[in-house]
Chains A and B, each alone.
Chain A
Amino acid sequence: MNFAYDALSRAKRRQRFYVVTGLLGFSLFIVLIWTLRELTLPAIVGALAAYLCHPLLALMRRWRIPKGLAILTLFAGFFFLISLASSQIRDAIPDEQGKLELRVRIQYKLDDKYQALMQIDEQGKGNLLHRLVGAEIEPFYDRLNRLLMLNPEERASFERYYVDHYSVQRFDQTFYRYFLHNLAQYQKRGGDLTMDEGEPNTGSQAKAAVSEINASTNLNTEQKSLLGVIGGVISLWMAAPFVFLFLLLDEGEIKRSVVQLVPNHYFEMVLTVLNNVDDALGKYLRGTFLECTLVGFTLMLGLYLIGLGAKWAFVIGTIAGLANAIPFLGPAIGLLIGAGYALIVETFTPFFSIIDADNMVLWVCIVVAVTQLLDNAVYQPIVLGNAVSLHPLVVIIGVMGGSILLGFIGMLFAVPVIVIVKVVIETLFKEMKAYQII
Chain B
Amino acid sequence: MTLPLQKQLSALWDNIFDRSRDPSKQDLVNILAQVPLFADLNHRELKRVARITHQRHYAQGEKIFHMGHPGAAMFIIRTGRVNIVIPSESDGLVLATLSAGAFMGELALLDDSPRSASAIAVEDTQAIALFRSDLNKLLETEASLGSKILKSLALIIGQRLKLTNQQLAQAQMSKSA
Contact = CB atoms under 8 A, between A and B. Distances in A.
A251 B51 CA distance: 7
20 contacts: A62-B140, A62-B141, A252-B52, A264-B56, A264-B57, A264-B58, A264-B62, A264-B64, A267-B54, A267-B56, A267-B129, A268-B65, A268-B72, A268-B73, A269-B72, A271-B131, A272-B72, A434-B69, A435-B69, A435-B70
Contacts of B56: 264, 267
B71 to A, nearest CB: 8
Given A251-B51, A251-B52, A434 B58 contact: no
Nearest to A275: B133
B146 to A, nearest CB: 11
Interface residues of A, number: 20
Given A265-B63, A268-B69, 20 more contacts: A58-B140, A58-B141, A61-B142, A62-B143, A252-B52, A256-B54, A260-B55, A264-B56, A264-B58, A264-B63, A267-B54, A267-B56, A268-B70, A268-B73, A271-B72, A272-B133, A431-B70, A434-B70, A435-B70, A436-B66
A164 to B, nearest CB: 59
B53 to A, nearest CB: 8
Task: Give the interface centre of A265, A269, A275, A431 by most chain B CB atoms within 10 Å.
Answer: A275
Interface in B123-149: 129, 131, 133-134, 137, 140-143
Contacts of A256: 54
Contacts of A118: none
B92 interface: no
A435 B55 CA distance: 21
Contacts of B87: none
Interface string A261-289: 00011011101100100000000000000
Contacts of A265: 63
A259 interface: yes
Interface of A: 58, 61-62, 251-252, 256, 259-260, 264-265, 267-269, 271-272, 275, 431, 434-436
A66 to B, nearest CB: 12
B75 to A, nearest CB: 10
A275 B52 CA distance: 14
Contacts of A62: 140-141, 143
Nearest to A276: B133
Nearest to B62: A264
Given A252-B52, A252-B134, A259-B54, A436 B68 contact: yes
Given A61-B142, A252-B51, A271 B133 contact: yes
Contacts of A252: 51-52, 134
A267 B65 CA distance: 9
A73 to B, nearest CB: 16
List 8 A-B pairs, minimum CB-CB distance, nearest first.
Answer: A268-B72, A275-B133, A61-B141, A272-B72, A58-B141, A434-B70, A271-B131, A435-B69
Interface string B38-62: 0000000000000110111110001
Nearest to B65: A268
Contacts of B71: 268
A146 to B, nearest CB: 61
A268 B70 CA distance: 9
A27 B42 CA distance: 46
Contacts of B112: 272
Contacts of B73: 267-268, 271
Nearest to B129: A267
Contacts of B69: 268, 434-436
A58 B62 CA distance: 38
Contacts of B62: 264
Nearest to A251: B51
A61 B146 CA distance: 14
A244 to B, nearest CB: 19
